[in-house]
Structure formats: C-alpha cells, structure tokens
C-alpha cells in the first residue's frame, strides 16, 4: 500500500490543481474584504459615539425647561426594545434590517448543511477506503457501487473503472493511451466533487465582507433621519437624540450579527473542503498507479 503511494508522485492534472488554487484565492480575497469590513464596523461605532457626545453637548448648551419636559415626554413614547426600535425605524432602515436578518438565516442554513455534508463525506471516505484496501476484487467492488449514486472516493473509483471497462469492450483491449484517459477522468471527477463541496461558500464570504457595510448604510440613513426630526422639532435634548441613534446603530449590530458567523464558518469550511479535496487527489494518485501497473503487466 505504501508502495502505491510512493509511485503516485505525478500530479493528477491541472484541473484539480486549479480547483485548489481557486479555493486558496477565494480565501485570500475573503480575508482582504473582511479587513475592510472590520474597518467599517469600527467607523460606525466611532460615528455613533461622536453623535451621542454631540447631542449631549447641545443639550447642555441650550435646553430650556420646556425642551426638557418635551424630551421627557418623548422618552416615554419611545420603545427601546429590539422590536420597538425596528418598528420605529425609517422604512429604508427596516429594509436593511430585514435583508441582514435574511442573510444571517441563509448563512446559518448553509453552515449547518455543509457541516452535515462534510461529516457524511468523511464517513463515506472512511468506509470506502476500508473496503478498497481489504483485498476485495476491483470487479466485485465496481459492481456493488455502479448501481447507486456515488460521491467522493466512490465516484473516483467508478469513473476510473468505467473508463477501464470501456477500453476492454468487445474482446479488444485499447490500452494505447489508457493511462492518460484514466487520469483525465479522475481529474474531471475531482473537479466536479470539489465544486460540490465548495458550492455556496462564496455566499458566506460575501456576507462576511458586505454585511457590515450594509449595516453602516442603514446606520447612516437612520442617523440622517434622526437629525432631520431633531431639526423639525427644534429640540436638542439628549433624550430626543438617543432613541434615533439607538435605532440607527441597531442596523450595524445586525450587520455584525450576520457577518461574524459567516466569516468564521467560511474559514473553517474552506479548510475542511481543501482537506477533503486533497484526500481525493491522494486516492486518485494511488488508484491511477494501480491501474497503470496492471496495464503494463498485460501489455
């Protein structure tokens, strides 16, 4: 078995290498975008603090008794719970919040689905390798797998054996270039399986990088609407400024709520997908060496 691993030093082909490089590129791009997202979140928090301080200063400079009384009355009608802040927010801010909540829900659905898929794929690989290296005939193993859907290592084995059997149909052995054809079949199957494992991971990277910016947009819009209301009421009391700012910053909180799990899950799931792809490439090298040896012996 170790001999097979040592003779399989040749790469399985450029498509599999391109799939690995593509995953690495996506991870690097996601890292740069997440850095920008962190800057946006810090900018939003700093903006909120500055606005609170501004409102406090205005309240201390000029706040007649009537304004204070009106501010107290306004605090009595403002509901600062999460649902209350959502209901009192501007329509644009509400749309931003709903969009961020939907993105968060969909991200968690992808995370759970991928965790289940990767665990099932690892168990399938373990079972297949146990049977494959148990000494069972390749023909018997092929007949037991060809009649049902296969993924990962099983799909690689079935694809290579199917090409092997096609080359020996009709009692003639078309062994010329058979090794190259088998390697190409294995490469294509690896790319297909890698795409299946990595599907929808780009959505997590997008949410992780864009959600803080979307939340920042909702925050800026909410603060702008809050200051317009302050100008219309001619009331600079902090009790009037604070509820609008809280509603606006709630959008940023939802953006971070969507982005943080997406970033963490993207990094982990990308690493898991890369490990599974590398495991398939290793098996493809070993199995290609086995078939190449049999071709040499028959020729």
Euclidean distance between CA atoms 127 and 199, whole angstroms: 24
Per the structure block, which two tokens stand in for 291? 């078939």
Q: What is the mean pLDDT of residues 106-135?
A: 95
CA angle 115, 120, 126 (to 5 degrees): 130
Residues 157-187 pLDDT 10s: 999 999 888 877 755 556 667 888 999 999 9
Q: What is the pTM of this model?
A: 0.71
pLDDT at 60: 47
Say which residue, 138 or 28, is predicted with more confidence. Answer: 138
Write out 69-114 in H/E/C secondary structure: HHHHHHHHHCCCCHHHHHHHCCHHHHHHHHHHHHHHHHHHHHHHHH
Q: How far apart are CA 97 and CA 13, in angstroms?
A: 46
How confident is the model over 101-110, as a mean pLDDT? 96
Token digits for 295?
């071709």
**52-88 pLDDT, tens digit each:** 455 445 444 444 434 444 444 444 456 667 787 888 8
Residue 299 has pLDDT above 90, yes or no: no
Count of CB atoms situated within 10 Å of the CB of 84 = 14
Q: How confident is the model at residue 2 (pLDDT cuts 50, 70, 90)?
A: very low
Whole-number Cα distances in Å, 221 to 47, 207, 228: 12, 20, 11
What's the average model confidence in pLDDT over 264-291? 94
| Helices (H), ranges, the chain | 2-6, 14-61, 65-77, 82-88, 91-132, 138-145, 153-166, 178-198, 201-233, 238-298
């Amino acid at each position: 078995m170790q001999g097979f691993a040592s003779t399989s030093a040749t790469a399985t082909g450029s498509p599999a290498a391109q799939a690995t490089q593509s995953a690495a590129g996506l991870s690097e791009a996601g890292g740069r975008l997440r850095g920008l997202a962190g800057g946006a979140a810090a900018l939003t928090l700093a903006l909120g603090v500055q606005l609170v301080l501004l409102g406090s200063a205005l309240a201390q400079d000029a706040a007649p008794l009537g304004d204070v009384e009106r501010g107290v009355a306004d605090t009595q009608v403002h509901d600062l719970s999460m649902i209350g802040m959502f209901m009192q927010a501007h329509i644009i801010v509400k749309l931003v919040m709903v969009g961020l909540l939907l993105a968060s829900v969909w991200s968690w659905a992808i995370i759970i689905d991928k965790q289940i898929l990767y665990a099932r794929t690892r168990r399938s690989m373990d079972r297949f390798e146990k049977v494959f290296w148990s000494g069972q005939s390749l023909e018997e193993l092929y007949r037991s797998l060809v009649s049902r859907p296969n993924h990962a290592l099983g799909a690689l084995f079935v694809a290579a054996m199917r090409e092997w059997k096609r080359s020996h149909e009709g009692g003639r052995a078309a062994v010329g270039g058979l090794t190259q054809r088998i390697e190409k079949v294995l490469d294509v199957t690896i790319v297909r399986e890698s795409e299946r494992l990595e599907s929808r991971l780009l959505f997590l990277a997008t949410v992780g990088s864009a959600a803080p910016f979307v939340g920042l947009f909702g925050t800026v819009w909410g603060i702008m609407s809050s200051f317009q209301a302050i100008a219309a009421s001619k009331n600079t009391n902090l009790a009037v400024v604070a509820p609008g700012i809280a509603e606006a910053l709630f959008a940023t909180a939802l953006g971070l709520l969507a982005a943080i799990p997406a970033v963490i899950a993207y990094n982990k799931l990308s690493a898991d997908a890369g490990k599974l792809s590398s495991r398939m490439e290793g098996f493809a090298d070993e199995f290609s060496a086995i078939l190449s040896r049999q071709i040499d012996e028959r020729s």
